[in-house]
């Protein structure tokens, strides 16, 4: 995707034609709705660590798939450590 210029504050109505902005806003709103739904079902001390860990792991994987970044062993180790840490934190809460 080629870089797009975001309209400055001098022309705020030009943002109406910036589709990446609207896509990002819609995805952020959808993520908020999923987060709120998860909090309605699970306690906060379980839902928040699990969801944020999922976001970290998803960013690591998508950076390789979408942006062709290299996947180092340290990335794998970091994601595994975060998942193990969250499992330890939430194991007593469940």
* pLDDT over 60 at 94, yes or no: no
Say if residue 94 is in the same domain as residue 49: yes
Are 22 and 64 members of one domain? no
* 19 shares a domain with 48: no
Question: Which long-range contacts (C-beta less than 8 Å, at least 24 apart) are formed by 18-22?
Answer: none
Q: Identify whether residues 52 and 79 lie together within a single domain.
A: yes
How confident is the model over 3-53, as pLDDT tens digits?
666 656 667 777 777 788 899 999 999 999 999 999 999 998 888 888 888
Q: Do 48 and 83 reside in the same domain of the chain?
A: yes
DSSP, collapsed to helix, strand or coil, labels residue 92 as coil
64, 71 contact by CB (below 8 A): yes
Please indicate, yes or no, whether residues 51 and 19 belong to a single structural domain of this protein: no
Q: Select the more confidently predicted residue: 30 or 90.
A: 30
66 and 82, same domain (yes or no): yes
The total number of structural domains that make up the chain: 2
pTM of the model: 0.62
Are 7 and 24 within one domain? yes
| Opening angle at CA 24, ends 19 and 33, nearest 5 | 135
Q: What is the mean pLDDT of residues 58-71?
A: 90
């Amino acid at each position: 995707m080629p870089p797009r210029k975001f309209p400055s504050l001098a022309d705020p109505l030009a943002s109406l034609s910036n589709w990446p902005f609207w896509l990002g806003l819609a995805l952020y709103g959808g993520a908020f709705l999923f987060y709120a739904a998860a909090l309605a079902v699970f306690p906060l001390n379980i839902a928040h660590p699990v969801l944020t860990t999922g976001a970290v792991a998803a960013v690591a994987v998508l950076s390789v798939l979408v942006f062709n970044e290299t996947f180092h062993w340290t990335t794998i180790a970091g994601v595994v450590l975060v998942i193990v840490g969250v499992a330890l934190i939430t194991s007593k809460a469940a």
